[in-house]
Amino acid sequence: MDPCDTPRRPGRPRGLDSICREKLLAAALPAFARHGFDGVSLRAIARAAGFDASMVSHHFGSKADLWYAVVEQLALEFQADLEDSALGVAGPQPVWQRLAAVVDHMVDRLAARPAVVMLVSREINDPSPRLDFLVEHLLRPAYLHYAPLWREGMEAGVFHQTDPAVFHLSFFGAVAMALSAQEVIGRITGQPMDADRLKQEIRRAMLGDAAPD
């Protein structure tokens, strides 16, 4: 029996709850992304994680609470990325170099978690009260973080001048679609496209062959 399926009691190792949470969140993200919130049951997600549905309720409450927890975790990962890495929007490096770091990072993140794009697309295309939560916790903070860099890119002539929020969503959509289309690109051209070259071509599509200032 999975230890996550035993009720909490004295002597239960510390940290176990957070391991159980993580396993469940890892199963919930692709399930919500693929089938939609209404199209998937708490029972099915629990089964995919190897848990009993009652234990899911114990750890998270309702299906809605599980969905919110999935988005909260994505928001935490996004915050951690911003703190850990060289993804400062401002900085001593020339703008093309900061932009390249941001594009490469976005490509790596979305390639590793394709379900994120599907989850966001679903909610954007089929608005519900969940979209407010997604906007507040993930979409708005991401926009506010990157907008100054997009503006700098426009001033430097890397991007066309346009509304920064329209640009931000276009940018995300462009990277996400190109990345998820790796197989399709190979099929429509008859030339297989490998992941490394795709990453390079996405960077060129977004930034051109920007050279050091």
Number of chain residues interacting with a copy of itself (CB under 8 A)? 57
DSSP string, 157-186: TSS----HHHHHHHHHHHHHHHHHTHHHHH
Please tell me the distance from the alpha carbon of residue 20 to that of residue 17, in angstroms, as a whole number: 5
157: alpha, beta or left? (left if phi > 0; alpha if psi -120 to 50) = left
Minimum CB separation of residue 85 from a copy of itself in Å reads: 23
Does residue 193 bind a copy of itself (CB under 8 A)? yes
70 binds a copy of itself (CB under 8 A): no
What minimum distance in Å lies between the beta carbon of 90 and a copy of itself? 20
C-beta of 126: minimal distance to a copy of itself in Å?
7
In angstroms, rounded to a whole number, what is the distance separating the alpha carbons of residues 142 and 112?
18
Interface residue with a copy of itself, options 27, 31, 139, 149 (CB under 8 A): 139
**Which residues neighbour 185 within 8 Å (Cβ) at sequence distance 6 or greater?**
178, 193, 198
Considering only 26, 80, 90, 188, the residue that binds a copy of itself (CB under 8 A) is 188
Residue 206 interacting with a copy of itself (CB under 8 A): yes
Residues 6+ apart with CB under 8 A from 126: 36
Interacting residues toward a copy of itself by CB under 8 A: 34-36, 39, 114, 117-118, 121, 124-127, 131-132, 135, 139-140, 143-144, 159-163, 165-178, 180-181, 183-185, 187-189, 193, 197-198, 201-202, 204-209
